[in-house]
């Protein structure tokens, strides 16, 4: 498969000289390479539609172009089915420590993305609601005979509990995959990449994903909420955010379980990824219930 990818990249009509793709590691579900051409560096990203993950590449491409128009993402210079070529950002992908150290900067770019992206996106709208994703993943896991299928009733009950803790918020355009590495710092500013799950929703999943993926403390979560909303978070916002952190970890764990059924990328152990997120979920849920109790 890798040889086919390399041949396809080399055959692209945009290069001014023979291309020498180099693997770009870090992605969990897509293959990416860098190519240097005429003094410029590019990222070539390959990936088909993953309907089981609600990932449609045409929508992802539209969002990437819209994000560039809004000043959030690198320019897409070439695209064809299953492949995009974007300009390379010479910078440092965020780590969990970077996310925690730059909470005001992260809150500012996320708020601006939420507010400004609706002016740039086009085509049919897409809504991302994590509790629907969890329920749909449960159907996929059950139908696929997943090794985790016996746990589904408990997880679905948990999702209902966490959904009931949410509060009404305005609809925004969210990224919905704020793993630390999807933010890049070039020394002057922050950039966003990877828009597979982007769409309309509320701010809470992005804010919760940032906190859960970077293992924020309660104080760090409060700081993120305060900077994002420009005011001290109310008790109901704090509770909704803590509940959504658990929901984001449950969704991420189930993402790994579904991937174990449908994806086969060398070196990626999706079941282990699922178990890691279940461990994080257990800790987050314990903190949530210790503070707020359990809905009955």
Q: Which of these, 174, 264, 196, lies nearest to 49 by C-alpha position? A: 196
Report phi then psi at 242, rounded to 5. -65, -40
Angle subtended at Cα 57 by Cα 54 and Cα 58, rounded to the nearest 5 degrees = 115
The CA-CA-CA angle for residues 191, 197, 201, to 5°, reads 95
What residues does each domain of the chain span?
Answer: 2-87, 92-292
- Helix crossing, 152-164 with 130-143: angle to 10°? 170
Residue 215 near residue 96 (C-beta atoms within 8 A): yes
What are the tens digits of pLDDT across the range 261-287? 999 877 789 999 999 999 999 999 999
Burial category of 2 from C-beta neighbours within 10 Å (exposed 0-12, middle 13-18, buried 19 and up) = exposed
- Judged by phi (left if over 0) then psi (alpha if -120 to 50, else beta), residue 169 lies in beta
Q: How far is CA 247 from CA 166, 205, 261, 265, in A?
A: 11, 9, 21, 26
Instruction: Write the pLDDT tens digit of every residue in 104-137.
Output: 999 999 999 999 999 999 999 999 999 999 999 9
pLDDT under 70: residue ranges of the chain: 1, 26-27, 295-296
- Decide: 45 and 84 in contact? Cβ < 8 Å: yes
User: Max Cα separation, the chain?
Assistant: 65
Whether residue 240 contacts residue 167, with contact meaning beta carbons closer than 8 Å, is answered with yes
Q: Quick one: CATH architecture of 92-292?
A: Alpha-Beta Complex (3.90)
CA distance 231 to 172: 19
What's the confidence (pLDDT) of residue 25?
79
Whole-number Å distance between alpha carbons of 13 and 9: 9
Phi, psi of 256, deg, nearest 5: -65, -40
Class of domain 2-87: alpha beta
Q: Residue 265: how many CB atoms within 10 A of its CB?
A: 14
Residue 277 has which token pair? 């997120």
At 151, give phi and psi (nearest 5°): -90, -10
- Here the tokens at position 154 are 């408990």
* Burial group, residue 166, by CB count within 10 angstroms (0-12, 13-18, 19+): buried
Cβ–Cβ under 8 Å, residues 179 and 208:
no
């Amino acid at each position: 498969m890798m040889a086919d990818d390399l041949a396809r990249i080399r055959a692209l009509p945009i290069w001014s000289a023979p291309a020498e793709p180099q693997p770009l590691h870090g992605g969990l579900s897509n293959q990416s390479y860098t190519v240097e051409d005429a003094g410029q560096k590019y990222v070539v990203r390959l990936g088909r539609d993953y309907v089981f993950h609600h990932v449609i590449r045409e929508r992802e491409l539209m969002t990437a172009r819209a994000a560039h128009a809004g000043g959030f993402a690198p320019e897409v210079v070439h695209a064809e089915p299953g492949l995009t070529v974007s300009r390379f950002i010479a910078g440092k992908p965020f780590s969990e420590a970077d996310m925690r150290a730059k909470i005001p900067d992260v809150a500012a770019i996320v708020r601006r993305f939420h507010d400004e992206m609706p002016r740039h996106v086009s085509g049919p709208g897409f809504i991302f609601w994590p509790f629907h994703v969890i329920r749909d993943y449960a159907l996929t896991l059950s139908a696929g005979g997943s090794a985790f299928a016996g746990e589904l009733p408990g997880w679905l009950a948990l999702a209902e509990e966490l959904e009931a803790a949410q509060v009404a918020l305005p609809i925004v355009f969210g990224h919905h995959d704020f793993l630390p590495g999807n933010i890049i710092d070039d020394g002057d500013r922050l950039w966003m990449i990877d828009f597979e799950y982007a769409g309309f929703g509320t701010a809470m999943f992005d804010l919760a994903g940032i906190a859960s993926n970077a293992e924020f403390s309660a104080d760090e979560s409060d700081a993120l909420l305060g900077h994002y909303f420009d005011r001290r978070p109310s008790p109901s916002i704090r509770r909704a955010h803590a509940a959504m952190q658990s929901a984001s970890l449950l969704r991420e764990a189930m993402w790994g379980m579904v991937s174990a059924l449908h994806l086969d990328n060398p070196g990626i152990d999706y079941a282990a990824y699922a178990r890691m997120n279940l461990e994080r979920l257990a800790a987050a849920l314990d903190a949530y219930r210790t503070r707020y109790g359990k809905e009955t």
